[in-house]
């Protein structure tokens, strides 16, 4: 997830672009850059690693004369967050510049093709190949125009991308293309914009056009021409933005967290994308041989807070698929109890920030004991992945809200990918079984999108109703147990309400004493089909708490009629496989916590006493 802005018009482009990038910085702050066509056949490019202010510090004080250009704020995927990997990237002549959001899956083959022709690539990114390819296509037939060259190139790309191109010889136009990544056009008076998000241009115009899948747009100061990848005229959707600036950055919501909840279908799809290559699950980085991985006979998962809850789910998948013991432990406890570790132990460290001190120290301890370490992380180049033997990145993009939402579900899907990678290495799953499971994981994005459509509004109404409660309990079994823990953690940290998650079977061993008249109890039901025995047992648990006066809020599979009589409030989620159930079931619990917090008047994005990245033990 990166931020992109492009401009053609009459204002100084540099200032428009920098202001646009400021509004998009929530999409990435690993590096930033701008390219401006100066009208005399030159292309001025400035780039800097780090936040936008680092770029501003290296920009010429006087706006360069150009009125056409583009800018980028990066969330690193391919290549560390350095100056050389910052966008825009150029071709060898320096005439074509490109900015990119997404992942070009076939970039290795394209890179090899270019290198075979003698092209020297100047960065580690997947994006740079697009600049060289467009330069080559344009050079072969300049009269056909930049748009034709872009169309020819994007048709060859696999993966997800928004790309914006400019050419020094075409100072009055920019060309952009999109597939599975966002891109909107802003329509001004004698000026046009493209951006990942309307927030980038809302200062200048509120008239926008949403581009569809696989479309190319050519912008000049007077208008936009939109076609598909084959040059056929394409349909677009014009709309008017009536949000104010603050809301625009948050996608029309009051808080980033609510926007981030909605981004989960995309972050799940992005995290999976490109990890099944020629029938094999591949990680992002692997400094371990297959033999070293095959020698693993025990797995520890270490993480903190929400990431620990994702780790609990890893256990179900890895043990089920690989038949290997998995222990899950909070990172702050792990190294102090002298765990038994050796070369045949794999430690999976999960951390969205990649900087959490407890998890980092657990990684260091594991490595000192010669264990192998695999990191699951949302931050390219962070300390934990740097110190690990293998890395799988979650592609959730930056999470501004302190409470983890989209990074949690992305961690869960990444844990499952690790489970599949291990199963294929150990030979406990055949290639066709791995491919089937992978396809199943891919279906999670649609299932989560359906939950978001169906449950957000009713859950918010329920949350407002229950906001005055003193406490809320959460119960689950099997994969529903980590969901219950996570639902309780979200409510504690956002609404400052006493909340506890329990394995429902433990209820009768103590917690049932907490049940009193009108206490809200959220129950995460397993599927009546996939887990019929557990379903029966949980129904009995609900009866027990209902008999003691609790208000029952039940998250259950659509069509599960048996649960209806026991649910004061029923939240129905789509029927999915057992391992995917935590993904669909945690969405309403995230919405619930955010709305209770809002109803109590708290800042949902910045809960008291908490920080996004905890770099002290």
Catalytic center residues: 2, 612
By the rule CB under 6 A, 260 interacts with ligand F6R:
no
By the rule CB under 6 A, 409 interacts with ligand F6R:
no
What's the min distance (Å) between Cβ of 616 and ligand F6R? 11
By the rule CB under 6 A, 357 interacts with ligand F6R:
no
By the rule CB under 6 A, 306 interacts with ligand F6R:
yes
CA–CA gap between residue 581 and residue 562 (Å, rounded): 18
Residue among 257, 272, 403, 413 that touches ligand F6R (CB under 6 A): 403
By the rule CB under 6 A, 586 interacts with ligand F6R:
no
By the rule CB under 6 A, 388 interacts with ligand F6R:
no
CA–CA gap between residue 70 and residue 130 (Å, rounded): 15
For ligand F6R, the nearest residue by Cβ is 305
Residue among 200, 304, 326, 522 that touches ligand F6R (CB under 6 A): 304
Residues 488-517 that bind ligand F6R (CB under 6 A): 489, 493
Stretch that binds ligand F6R, among 176-184, 266-274, 278-286, 300-308 (CB under 6 A): 300-308
Burial of 140 (0-12, 13-18, 19+ CB in 10 A): exposed
Terminal Cα-to-Cα distance of the chain (whole angstroms): 30
3-state secondary structure 58-96: HCCCCCCCCCEEEEEEECCCCCCCCCCCCCCEECCCCCE
Residue among 123, 264, 353, 578 that touches ligand F6R (CB under 6 A): 353
Stretch that binds ligand F6R, among 55-63, 156-164, 349-357, 473-481 (CB under 6 A): 349-357
Stretch that binds ligand F6R, among 47-55, 89-97, 290-298, 352-360 (CB under 6 A): 352-360
By the rule CB under 6 A, 391 interacts with ligand F6R:
no
Residue among 357, 512, 514, 614 that touches ligand F6R (CB under 6 A): 614
The first and second tokens of residue 377, run together, are 């992380």
What's the min distance (Å) between Cβ of 176 and ligand F6R? 33
Per-residue mark of binding to ligand F6R, 523-542 (x: CB under 6 A)? --------------------
Q: Tell me the β-bridge partners of 210.
A: 184, 237
The first and second tokens of residue 296, run together, are 């693993």
Residue among 127, 162, 271, 356 that touches ligand F6R (CB under 6 A): 356
The first and second tokens of residue 601, run together, are 């008047």
What's the min distance (Å) between Cβ of 149 and ligand F6R? 42
Residue among 195, 216, 307, 373 that touches ligand F6R (CB under 6 A): 307
Q: Is residue 405 within 8 Å of residue 590, measured between CB atoms? A: yes
b (16+ CB within 10 A) / e for 79-89: bebbeebbbbb
By the rule CB under 6 A, 267 interacts with ligand F6R:
no
Q: Which residue has the tokens 């147990």?
A: 481
Stretch that binds ligand F6R, among 168-176, 314-322, 350-358, 577-585 (CB under 6 A): 350-358
Question: Interior CA angle at 288 toward 335 and 83, to 5°?
Answer: 90
b (16+ CB within 10 A) / e for 570-598: bbbbbbbebbbbbbbbbbbbbbbbbbbbb
CA–CA gap between residue 287 and residue 285 (Å, rounded): 7
CA–CA gap between residue 431 and residue 493 (Å, rounded): 42
Binding site for ligand F6R (CB under 6 A): 304-307, 351-353, 356, 359, 403-404, 489, 493, 613-614
């Amino acid at each position: 997830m990166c931020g992109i802005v492009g401009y053609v018009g009459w204002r100084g482009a540099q200032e428009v672009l920098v202001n646009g990038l400021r509004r998009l910085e929530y999409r990435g702050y690993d590096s930033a850059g701008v390219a401006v066509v100066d009208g005399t056949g030159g292309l001025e490019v400035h780039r800097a690693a780090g936040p936008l202010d680092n770029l501003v510090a290296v920009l010429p004080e006087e706006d360069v004369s150009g009125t056409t250009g583009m800018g980028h704020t990066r969330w690193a995927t391919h290549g560390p967050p350095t100056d050389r990997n910052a966008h825009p990237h150029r071709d060898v002549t320096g005439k074509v510049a490109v900015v990119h959001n997404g992942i070009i899956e076939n970039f290795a083959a394209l890179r090899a093709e270019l290198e075979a022709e003698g092209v020297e690539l100047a960065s580690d990114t997947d994006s740079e190949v697009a600049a060289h390819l467009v330069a080559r296509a344009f050079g072969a037939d300049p009269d056909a125009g930049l748009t034709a060259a872009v169309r020819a190139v994007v048709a060859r790309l696999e993966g997800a991308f928004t790309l914006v191109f400019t050419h020094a010889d075409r100072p009055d136009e920019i060309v952009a293309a999109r597939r599975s990544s966002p891109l909107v056009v802003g329509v001004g008076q004698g000026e046009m914009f493209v951006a990942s998000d309307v927030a980038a241009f809302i200062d200048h115009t509120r008239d926008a056009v949403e581009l569809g899948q696989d479309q190319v747009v050519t912008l000049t100061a007077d208008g936009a021409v939109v076609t598909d990848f084959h040059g056929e005229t394409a349909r677009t959707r014009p709309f008017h933005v009536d949000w104010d600036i603050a809301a625009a950055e948050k996608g029309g919501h009051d808080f980033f967290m609510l926007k981030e909840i909605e981004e989960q279908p995309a972050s799940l799809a992005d995290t999976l994308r490109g990890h099944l290559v020629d029938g094999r699950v591949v990680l992002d980085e692997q400094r371990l041989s297959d033999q070293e991985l095959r020698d693993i006979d025990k797995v520890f998962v270490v993480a903190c807070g929400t990431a620990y809850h994702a780790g609990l789910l890893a256990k179900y998948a890895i043990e089920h698929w690989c038949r290997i013991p998995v222990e899950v432990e909070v990172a702050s406890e792990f190294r102090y109890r002298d765990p038994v570790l050796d070369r045949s132990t794999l430690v999976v460290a999960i951390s969205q920030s990649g900087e959490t001190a407890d998890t980092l120290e657990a990684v260091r301890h594991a490595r000192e004991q010669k264990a192998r370490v695999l990191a699951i992380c949302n931050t390219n180049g962070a300390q934990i992945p740097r110190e690990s033997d293998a890395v799988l990145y979650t592609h959730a993009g930056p999470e501004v809200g302190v409470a983890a939402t989209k990074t949690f579900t992305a961690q869960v899907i990444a844990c499952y990918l690790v489970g599949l990678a291990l199963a294929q290495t150990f030979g406990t799953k055949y290639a066709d079984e791995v491919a089937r499971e992978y396809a199943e994981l891919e279906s999670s994005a649609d299932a989560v999108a359906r939950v978001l459509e169906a449950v957000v509004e009713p859950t918010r109404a329920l949350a407002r109703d229950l906001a005055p409660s003193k406490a809320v309990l959460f119960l689950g079994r099997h994969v529903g147990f980590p969901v219950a823990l996570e639902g309780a953690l979200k409510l504690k940290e956002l609404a400052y309400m006493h909340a506890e998650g329990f394995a429902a079977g433990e209820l009768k061993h103590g917690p049932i004493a907490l049940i009193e008249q009108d206490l809200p109890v959220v129950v995460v039901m397993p599927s009546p089909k996939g887990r019929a025995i557990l379903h029966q047992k949980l129904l009995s648990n609900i009866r027990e708490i209902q008999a003691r006066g609790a208000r029952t809020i039940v998250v259950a599979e659509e069509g599960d009629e048996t649960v209806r009589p026991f649910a004061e409030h029923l939240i129905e989620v789509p029927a999915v496989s057992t391992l995917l159930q935590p993904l669909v079931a945690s969405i309403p619990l995230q919405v619930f916590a955010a709305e209770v917090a809002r109803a109590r008047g708290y800042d949902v994005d910045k809960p008291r006493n908490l920080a996004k990245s905890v770099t002290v033990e």
